Structure 1
């Protein structure tokens, strides 16, 4: 049977174009009718590519491939989330050790399946990468968790941090506001850094323990040592401001998709034992844990909704580009 779908794509000019397509499910794929999709900064990076946009999809399974019942427990009618990755191989070392997000043979947004995307009415998706959405999470909040939520959850959950640790979070934006909530609910001290005080109250409402405005400062006085630092801003900060308040052996997670270099001297690393960890998204089991944790602790991204139409996509992406989104955009199917 398959699905006839509409999808909104980027283009060489950067305009958003509407396209039509059809997909039949491969043996290990399911057909998902999309109801919601988060708007991520990475979609903006691909606006000039002729490909389907959207990788924070949520929808209902309407059809399953011939092998799905033998390799998974996904069934028609399940509400599922779709993220950055389209398929994991299941046999490389990363997959066999539970680190699917490092799969050597994965396909993903931007690298494959350019005819489809979650900015649309439906997709065919491999079951190796999808997740069931808990009943307690409304679909409009689930989309941003599939990429943005997974991106900040991974460092907090998968790298040895624990309740009681002091976690610095630079930025109160699309990633930062979710990192604050997760860190606070885990039982960590969420120490938030932002250029001005304009988002202080919101950061505290999200669960921040401390808030530090960094604009114009050459030294951060009175801040106790941090066990970890999550960089969630759209541009890399001057780390020389933060190194003096990092604990010995602290972990730094640059989460921003940025081509800029981090300014760190070998001496700074040697003297402090600081570890810089490249972390993107999270393994499948970790994402399932994240969704269960978010459901149990009522963690919700702060969203603005837009219609899943060409005009809606253009409006949402322009607001994101202008830095005015508070804090994640979500497209909603008619």
Structure 2
């Protein structure tokens, strides 16, 4: 059994009653519990519906990142109506991005990975990317290329350039948290009826769908396991961007 980034919701507000528990103003965010959440030796869900039965084929060290990073990108793909015929791009080949590439490739999309460094090109292609762009060099040449762009990085990006890379009525979905405010020219958005949207983790049902999809298509996070006694080392690798691609604590 597993508990992900959310451990419960009220199931009585308008959002919960319409199946959108991820928008519940009273949801129980496991990641915001402090030492009672992701760093606890035991976690108690506030609602049984958020305790996920884990498929036998899925190891615990793989299930843990899927129930946070995995559901974040899976929900963004599902809720934004991404089609198998779409040309899509994933910004960032990291903890979220390496899973997004796998999901989108198995979804049937033509996937382009965008990274600030060419060093991740081989990994991106191994995860299923058909093309690779070094953002500073290749983004301008990609103008008008994508139906959907998923930004997974915690960085302030040249938003006008990314909106320009969308086809008309395309969607730029942001699940990474930028450091500053969004800034872009209105004409980058309006004439092509483009969309800029945010994304959050999914509902209990979406978690189940995501786990089933991951098992069916052999999608797995790349993890670095650490015994809990080495938590300092694990955190240091994450903070300095050296984890490939998720650090997992073993209790």
Deviation at 1:231, TM superposition (A): 0.7
Query: What is aligned with 2:181?
Result: 261
Query: What is aligned with 1:271?
Result: 191
Q: Distance in 1 between matches of 2:4 and 2:15?
A: 18
- List alignment gaps of at least 5 residues for structure 2: none
Query: What is aligned with 1:229?
Result: 149
**Pairing 1:181–2:181 present:** no
Matched length: 250
Deviation at 1:245, TM superposition (A): 2.2
More helix by percentage: 2
**Pairing 1:198–2:119 present:** yes
Root-mean-square deviation over aligned CA pairs: 1.7
Between stretches 324-333 and 207-216, larger displacement belongs to 207-216
Q: 1:222 to 1:122 in 2, by over 3 A?
A: closer
TM-score, normalised via structure 2 length: 0.93
Deviation at 1:266, TM superposition (A): 2.2
Deviation at 1:119, TM superposition (A): 2.1
Note if contact 1:120-1:308 (Cα within 8 Å) is conserved in structure 2.
no
Q: Distance in 1 between matches of 2:111 and 2:80?
A: 17
Aligned residue among 37, 43, 60 for 1:123: 43
The superposition leaves residues 77-118 of structure 1 with CA deviations (integer Å, 9 ceiling, x where unpaired) of xxx22122232101111111111110122122365x555223
Could you say what secondary structure the match of 2:44 adopts? strand
The superposition leaves residues 118-137 of structure 1 with CA deviations (integer Å, 9 ceiling, x where unpaired) of 32321221213221111111
Query: What is aligned with 1:286?
Result: 206
Could you say what secondary structure the match of 2:118 adopts? coil
After the TM superposition, which segments of 4 or more aligned residues of structure 1 sit over 3 Å from their partners? none
Larger radius of gyration: 1
- List alignment gaps of at least 5 residues for structure 1: 1-79
More strand by percentage: 1
Query: What is aligned with 1:330?
Result: 248
Query: What is aligned with 1:50?
Result: none
